[in-house]
Structure 1
Amino acid sequence: MASILDSVDQRTKLVGQNRLELLTFRLRGSQLFAINVFKVQEVQQLPKLNILPQSDPVVVGVTTVRGSTIPVIDLSSAIGRSPISQDESANIIVTEYNRSVQAFLVGGVDRIVNLNWEDILPPPAASGRSHFLTAITRLEEKIVEIIDVEKVLSQVVPFESNISEDLLDSTLYEHAQNMEVLLVDDSNVAIEQAKGALQQLGLKVIVETDGMKAWNRLKSWRDEGLDVPNKLLMVITDAEMPEMDGYRLTTEIRKDPALKDLFVVLHTSLSGSFNKAMVEKVGCDGFLSKFQPEALAEVVQNRIRDRINS
């Protein structure tokens, strides 16, 4: 399973086609869970772990992968379930989120499946705000629960949303109060972090929780006769979302004569050259890793300056 990933060039073929690959696995029992393969570096049978003193209770130890020491998080414990048995049936999934590498301890690893984002649905409303799912799907008539890894990681290392006073340009605040940003993300944690940062800049933030909802809103404004590129300072969109991903959303925006001039920034926990290739392919104006409020503020303030001076 260590060679689970294809090359960057091969995997960017999914971009703009509203498709994704999921790695499915089990924790305890028969329920299937999944995360996006884009974030997986490799899968290993559980190696020997070294205990990390004074760590979060869900961090069961550290291990060395390709010369780097990384924390290992019991994913079952992290989402409020019983711990994984650390025996020969256990595996670790090595992942990269927001430029950090960590491994998740899981039970059996199932397989990789290629799906359409239209088949990925928001979790049931009854699951409440405390759930750790970002979406669900069906595979051979079985429900697959897609883990909100950003929320899991926020429980271990809380994300920061404050922007330092040194970075804030107070001369822009009054201008920003008349400007709107469309923020598109399916993770409550990511929404609250980005929204908090944007509001510190004085901006009005409009939130949609998946690409399809955002696309429908943009089209409704267009059909009302609004000049949408002038109405919005920018669109900040996640990559992975139910029903329509951020790459497809950007592709649709660029194809629409009334919307094609919107300023679109991809804001995602995916990292590295893979995202740079995708940004170029679909025509985003920029790329930002999530949970870096000061980097977000810098991009947004530069955009405000451009709008003022245009």
Structure 2
Amino acid sequence: MAGVLDSVNQRTQLVGQNRLELLLFRLRGRQLYGINVFKVKEVLQCPRLSSIPNSKTVVRGVAHIRGETIPIIDLGMSIGLSGIPQEDLATSFIIITEYNRKTQGFLVAGVDRIMNMNWEDILPPPKGAGKDVYLTAVTKIDDKLVEIIDVEKILSEVSPLREEVTEAIASKGAERVPGHKPVLVVDDSAVARRQIERCLTAIGMEVVLKNDGKQAYEYLKEITEDGSKATDHFELVISDVEMPEMDGYTLVTRCKSDPALSDLFVMLHTSLSGVFNKAMVQKVGADDFMAKFSPDELAERVMEIIDRE
């Protein structure tokens, strides 16, 4: 256990070719869950929590850590499981994470280990799991199923982000000349896809949605089989970084090495706001990146990219 706790901060800078490191943990029972180490700032034994009046039940309180007041969310309770009993808090752990420009802690029963994996071994949730499932992916480790939780869905329910662009930005979009090609949006989180789609349609853009890098790459290859260029079909691609089967970095690398796809503008759009690796963005050849999620900032940036081309 000490090895896991000591190594998290050292490992958050790992970026490989379609690889990731998963921090494995348990909620209640023996089922293993995973979260990308990139999202993790720190793992701690659960400190003393201070209650927040009128907060949602899943928010167990706040912790004061290194001069910062951090809300602590019971991760099991937030996905419909039973929460950690009050008497077990002292032996539980919190995983401090940074998503979408905000820091929060997730209360878990126990932390297991860190596993280095290939994104090709991370698969979408089984078909038929339902649209309300709190998973973005699954994988197997030692023949045991590991469920990777859709943290963006949880946070959208616990602390909803503003998803609508302001009237001023929407008006700016309405004033632009119509007839632009669609935007290809690639993200494994249904919540993130919905947020981006609403943002872009508000400024008059048509949107095509794909769930991961593999889907997007195969689709781009298919539509350019007739000898056309990707830029004949799309204005730009907005892609998440963390996705099952093929991550955003690999998607960019493959697009930029393919003559039919190489001219397509690719923006990486990620919730890895605190540890996002700018050097890696440049290395793989992405044209731009932005931390999730500000609807006005994204809408304005998309309009700038399209209008200058």
Alpha-carbon offset, residue 171 of structure 1: 5.6
Matched, 1:248 2:250: yes
Residue 263 of structure 1 corresponds to 265
1:21-70 CA-to-partner distances (Å, cap 9, x unmatched) read 10000000000001110000011111110001111110000001111000
Whole-Å Cα distance in 2 between the matches of residues 60 and 95 of structure 1? 16
Give matches, 1:114-263, under 5 Å: 114-168=116-170, 169-170=172-173, 172-175=175-178, 177-263=179-265
Alpha-carbon offset, residue 219 of structure 1: 0.6
Alpha-carbon offset, residue 283 of structure 1: 1.3
Whole-Å Cα distance in 1 between the matches of residues 297 and 224 of structure 2? 30
What is the identity percentage for the equivalent residue pairs of Structure 1 and Structure 2? 52
Query: SS in structure 1 opposite 2:216?
Result: helix
Residue 40 of structure 1 corresponds to 40
1:175-200 CA-to-partner distances (Å, cap 9, x unmatched) read 2x432110000101000000001111
Q: Which amino acid aligns with 1:11?
A: L
Query: SS in structure 2 opposite 1:279?
Result: helix
Alpha-carbon offset, residue 273 of structure 1: 5.3
Q: Which residues of structure 2 form unaligned runs of 5+?
A: none
Whole-Å Cα distance in 2 between the matches of residues 137 and 62 of structure 1? 32
Cα RMSD after superposing both structures:
1.5
Instruction: Say whether the 8 Å CA contact 1:74–1:83 is kept in structure 2.
Output: yes
Instruction: Say whether the 8 Å CA contact 1:197–1:293 is kept in structure 2.
Output: yes
Alpha-carbon offset, residue 267 of structure 1: 0.7
Whole-Å Cα distance in 1 between the matches of residues 129 and 91 of structure 2? 29
Over 3 Å counting, the alpha-carbon distance change for 1:302 and 1:57 in structure 2 is same
Instruction: Say whether the 8 Å CA contact 2:173–2:303 is kept in structure 1.
Output: no
Equivalent position to 1:99, from 92, 98, 101: 101
Q: TM-score w.r.t. structure 2 length?
A: 0.94
Over 3 Å counting, the alpha-carbon distance change for 1:103 and 1:230 in structure 2 is same
Matched, 1:5 2:39: no
Whole-Å Cα distance in 2 between the matches of residues 170 and 215 of structure 1? 29
Q: Which amino acid aligns with 1:254?
A: K
Instruction: Say whether the 8 Å CA contact 1:199–1:205 is kept in structure 2.
Output: yes
Instruction: Say whether the 8 Å CA contact 2:180–2:235 is kept in structure 1.
Output: no
Residue 25 of structure 1 corresponds to 25
1:77-136 CA-to-partner distances (Å, cap 9, x unmatched) read 000110013424310000000111000000110000010000000111222011101100
Whole-Å Cα distance in 1 between the matches of residues 189 and 251 of structure 2? 17
Whole-Å Cα distance in 2 between the matches of residues 73 and 256 of structure 1? 44
Query: SS in structure 2 opposite 1:6?
Result: helix
Residue 57 of structure 2 corresponds to 57
Q: Which amino acid aligns with 2:14?
A: R
Q: TM-score w.r.t. structure 1 length?
A: 0.94
Residue 74 of structure 1 corresponds to 74
Instruction: Say whether the 8 Å CA contact 2:21–2:116 is kept in structure 1.
Output: yes
